Amino acid sequence: MPEQKKEIVLSGIRSTGNLHLGNYYGALRKFVAVQNDYDCNFFIADLHALTTNPNPEDLHKNARQILAEYLAAGLDPEKSTIFVQSDVPEIAEMYLLLNMHVGIGELMRTTSFKDKARKALGITAPADDSDEAFEKEIIGASTNKRVNAGLLTYPTLMAVDILIQKATKVPVGKDQLQHLELTRRFARRFNSFYGVDLFPEPTDFDFGGQPIKVPGLDGSGKMGKSEGNCIYLVDDPKVLRKKVMHAVTDEGPKEPDSPMSEPIANLFSLLELTSKPEVVQQFRDAYADCSIRYGDLKKQIAEDILAVTTPIRERVNDILADEEYLAKVVRMGAEKARERAAKTLAEVRYIMGIRKF
């Protein structure tokens, strides 16, 4: 029997800083887990990072850092194609082509665009959350507080990352599901506009059941770089313990079986991600009978997080010091990623009518 072709998995993380626990549980851990069974492609989304106009020195430093963290967490360049997005120029060309089939209205209604655009304009709490009010804010913005077009077309670029490799499985955290939905829509639209069957429709890839959202330690919301509430994989033990011990809590349960407030539910989510089921149960029971001590809960969480992050942190610096190895990994990755990208781009150009005279 001919060997069955492995399904194509693809995902990326923007090079905007060190990786945090949200990135690890929402994305990186899954990347490592599927390496043996799929045709895996993982990249550093440096072009996406440009949408928030980073300092050029930082952009390069962060790309190297993420590459080192990918490798330290167990991504293996012999098993997975590991590359830097900007090393594949075919992506930029296809981004231009796909944009011809993407509506500015649908892009403007994307949640992540709304959040980032408002941030760029310095609007923290919009008085009116309607699409109409939002459009007026954007169009009426002065030129020194502009919302760049790259931010608007972020989902086109992400769709191209996926479609150019014809990936069908995309491991990402919950916050990226809307982008994935748009990718499917763009794929269907392209196929039906040209009457072709070029792009498969990619789906989320969460082998552990529910899509994951790692909470912050500040009581509400998700852990995120721009939220400033992150536990980084490379945090040293002292810093990490301090961050966890400072997590927001409440006054504690006063009656048996009280409902949990959000900050406490968040701590339990972290415990569930990092600790053994029996430990989680022990703390749940202590909460239910009001004997819980939040200090103990936090200590447990800190130690269990450290058990996950310490081996990664210890490897990162050695990997970063080996310039030659890093360069070799991305060279190999770019070569492989470009092969399939060039093939898809040639198909897209032909289908759209860009042909040789």
Residue 48 sits in the site that holds ligand TRP (CB under 6 A): yes
Buried b (16+ CB within 10 A) or exposed e, 333-357: bbebbbebbeebbeebeebeeeeee
Residue 223 sits in the site that holds ligand ADP (CB under 6 A): yes
Residue 175: both structure tokens together:
């916050």
Residue 160 sits in the site that holds ligand TRP (CB under 6 A): no
Among ligand ADP, ligand TRP, none, residue 263 binds (CB under 5-8 Å by kind): none
Residue number with CB closer to ligand ADP (115 or 296): 115
Residue number with CB closer to ligand TRP (29 or 179): 179
Residue 22 sits in the site that holds ligand ADP (CB under 6 A): yes
Exactly one of 8, 23, 229, 329 binds ligand ADP (CB under 6 A); that residue is 23
- Give percent helix, percent strand, percent coil of the chain, each to the nearest 5: 60, 5, 35
Residue number with CB closer to ligand ADP (212 or 348): 212
Residue number with CB closer to ligand ADP (225 or 315): 225
Exactly one of 65, 176, 266, 344 binds ligand TRP (CB under 6 A); that residue is 176
Annotated catalytic residue within 61, 225, 299, 343: 225
Exactly one of 118, 184, 225, 343 binds ligand ADP (CB under 6 A); that residue is 225
Residue 83 bridge partners (DSSP): 43
Burial label, 45 (beta-carbon count in 10 A; 0-12, 13-18, 19+): buried
Within positions 27 to 46, which residues make up the interface with ligand TRP, using CB under 6 A? 45
Cβ of residue 242: shortest distance to ligand ADP, in angstroms? 20
Q: Are 44 and 67 in contact (CB under 8 A)?
A: yes
Residue 222 bridge partners (DSSP): 215
* Pick from 296, 295, 293: nearest CA to 253: 293
Cβ of residue 251: shortest distance to ligand ADP, in angstroms? 26
Cβ of residue 25: shortest distance to ligand ADP, in angstroms? 6
* Pick from 213, 183, 25, 211: nearest CA to 110: 183
Beta strand ranges found along the chain (DSSP E) = 8-14, 39-45, 81-84, 169-170, 203-204
Residues 6+ apart with CB under 8 A from 317: none
Quick check: is 116 catalytic? yes
The values of phi and psi at residue 218, to 5°, are -100, 20
Cβ of residue 300: shortest distance to ligand ADP, in angstroms? 20
Among ligand TRP, ligand ADP, none, residue 214 binds (CB under 5-8 Å by kind): ligand ADP
Exactly one of 214, 297, 301, 305 binds ligand ADP (CB under 6 A); that residue is 214
Burial label, 310 (beta-carbon count in 10 A; 0-12, 13-18, 19+): middle
Site size for ligand TRP (CB under 6 A): 14
Exactly one of 8, 9, 12, 271 binds ligand TRP (CB under 6 A); that residue is 12
Binding site for ligand TRP (CB under 6 A): 10-14, 45, 48, 158, 161-162, 170, 172, 176, 179
Cite the active site residues: 116, 222, 225
